[in-house]
């Protein structure tokens, strides 16, 4: 059996041709494919504006510069990739880590408790973890009641929906971000995007993507003005051509993911392998996370990782709590009371989940896992 990773891109000849076409064209960067990709993304996500950028971290950085002020307190989750809370630090603001709920997303009820106790909290950075969209009613309630700024990190969740509300539509948030890293639902190599319904935020972030520079029709032909300290977070036309081609197939990719989810769900019924949540239509399943109570078994999580690797299966862990990372400990974090996250971290791991995973590879993964756990 070839090595089976937890996630992987699916590229076909049409994707490759779309990139080659750009290489034969006049524009390699900031050409027609960038705006076409942005239009296609805003259509798909049902949002007014999309800005394609170099990666999801750049998207978070730009969003944080327009949403936050220095020293703002921002509620966020320990269960994410580092970039989510790092972006809060980039803006000179202060992350406040809140425990997760049973589905791996930030516990929005605990967020409300924190907001009740501390009226100086300015913002909430939630992550649609593993592809499961944040509870939209609760987000709406928090935004309306406490007047906070909300960012939805949808790096895992393009294509997810709750009823008619799509991930990254910013229906109940100010800004959302996406990532197109190869392990995600669709890829541009590196790449990301910011979405918003606010013209003002859109224009600011667009300017910051390109050095804070502006060129207007009334200026002399050579003139440009730098109005803010911006960055070069542009994405290339080659990447956006790939993104456009991938986006056309995104719904098929997600359908395949859901087929795989249902097979995993069935395989683990009545077993000690507990899916973080079973299929309910609210996730686009970037990850398929399961939990096992290792404390009740004769095998550790490390043993399981190593034994599965010997069988060519690459399970992964999402995530080490961000607040326990050495850098964050150095800032004084790490002692927050997060019992759900602590238990989750002891027990969780992610199984292979990507559209190219074959039925045979999935059946092999399930068999090996259950055999090693002796169930």
Q: Which of residues 248-307 bind ligand PLP (CB under 6 A)?
A: none
The side-by-side arrangement of strands in the sheet containing 288-291 is: 274-275, 288-291, 348-351
Nearest distance from C-beta of residue 189 to ligand PLP, angstroms? 10
Nearest distance from C-beta of residue 81 to ligand PLP, angstroms? 4
Nearest distance from C-beta of residue 55 to ligand PLP, angstroms? 4
Chain position whose Cβ is nearest to ligand PLP:
56
* DSSP H or E run through 241: helix 237-268
Nearest distance from C-beta of residue 166 to ligand PLP, angstroms? 17
* Cβ–Cβ under 8 Å, residues 58 and 177: no
Member of 78, 104, 126, 192 binding ligand PLP (CB under 6 A): 192
Which residues make Cβ contacts (< 8 Å) with residue 176, sequence separation at least 6? 45, 47, 151, 152, 153, 154, 167, 168, 169, 170, 194, 195, 196
Taking CB under 6 A as the binding criterion, the range among 11-19, 148-156, 272-280, 335-343 that sits at the site for ligand PLP is 148-156
Task: Identify each DSSP E strand in the chain by its residue range.
Answer: 49-53, 73-76, 94-97, 121-127, 149-153, 161-162, 165-166, 175-179, 192-196, 213-214, 225-226, 274-275, 288-291, 348-351
Nearest distance from C-beta of residue 316 to ligand PLP, angstroms? 11
Nearest distance from C-beta of residue 181 to ligand PLP, angstroms? 4
As a whole number of angstroms, the longest Cα–Cα distance in the chain is 74
**Binding flags for ligand PLP, 150-189, as an x/- string (CB under 6 A):** ---x-xx----------------------x-x--------
106 lines the binding site for ligand PLP (CB under 6 A): no
Give CA–CA dist 44/21, Å, rounded: 24
Q: Which of residues 36-75 bind ligand PLP (CB under 6 A)?
A: 55-57
83: tokens are 């970039």
Binding site for ligand PLP (CB under 6 A): 55-57, 80-81, 83-84, 127, 153, 155-156, 179, 181, 192
């Amino acid at each position: 059996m070839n090595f089976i990773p937890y996630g992987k891109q699916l590229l076909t000849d049409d994707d490759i041709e779309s990139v080659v076409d750009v290489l034969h064209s006049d524009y390699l960067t900031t050409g027609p494919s960038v705006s076409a990709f942005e239009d296609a993304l805003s259509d798909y996500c049902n949002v007014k504006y999309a800005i394609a950028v170099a990666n999801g971290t750049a998207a978070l950085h730009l969003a944080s510069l327009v949403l936050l002020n220095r020293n703002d307190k921002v509620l966020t989750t320990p269960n994410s990739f580092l970039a989510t809370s790092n972006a809060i630090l980039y803006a000179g603001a202060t992350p406040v880590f809140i425990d997760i709920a049973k589905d791996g997303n930030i516990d929005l009820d605990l967020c409300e408790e924190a907001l009740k106790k501390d009226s100086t909290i300015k913002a909430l950075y939630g992550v649609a973890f593993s592809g499961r969209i944040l509870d939209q009613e609760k987000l709406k309630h928090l935004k309306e009641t406490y007047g906070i700024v909300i960012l939805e990190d949808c790096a895992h969740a393009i294509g997810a929906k709750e009823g008619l509300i799509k991930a990254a539509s910013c229906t109940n948030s100010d800004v959302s971000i996406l990532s197109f890293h190869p392990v995600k639902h669709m890829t541009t190599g590196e790449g990301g995007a910011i979405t918003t319904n606010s013209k003002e935020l859109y224009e600011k972030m667009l300017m910051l993507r390109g050095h804070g520079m502006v060129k207007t029709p009334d200026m002399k032909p050579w003139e440009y003005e730098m109005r803010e300290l911006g960055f070069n977070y542009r994405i290339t036309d080659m990447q956006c051509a790939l993104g456009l081609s991938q986006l056309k197939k995104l719904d098929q990719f997600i359908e395949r993911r859901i087929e795989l989810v249902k097979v995993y769900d069935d395989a683990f019924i009545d077993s000690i392998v507990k899916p973080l949540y079973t299929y309910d239509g609210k996730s686009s399943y970037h990850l398929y996370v399961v939990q096992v109570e290792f404390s009740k078994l004769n095998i550790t999580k490390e043993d399981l990782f190593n034994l599965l690797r010997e069988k060519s299966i690459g399970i992964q862990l999402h995530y080490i709590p961000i607040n326990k990372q050495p850098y964050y400990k150095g800032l004084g974090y790490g002692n927050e009371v997060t019992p759900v996250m602590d238990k989750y971290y002891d027990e969780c791991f992610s199984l292979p989940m990507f559209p190219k995973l074959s039925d045979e590879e999935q059946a092999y993964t399930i068999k090996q896992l259950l055999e090693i756990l002796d169930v």
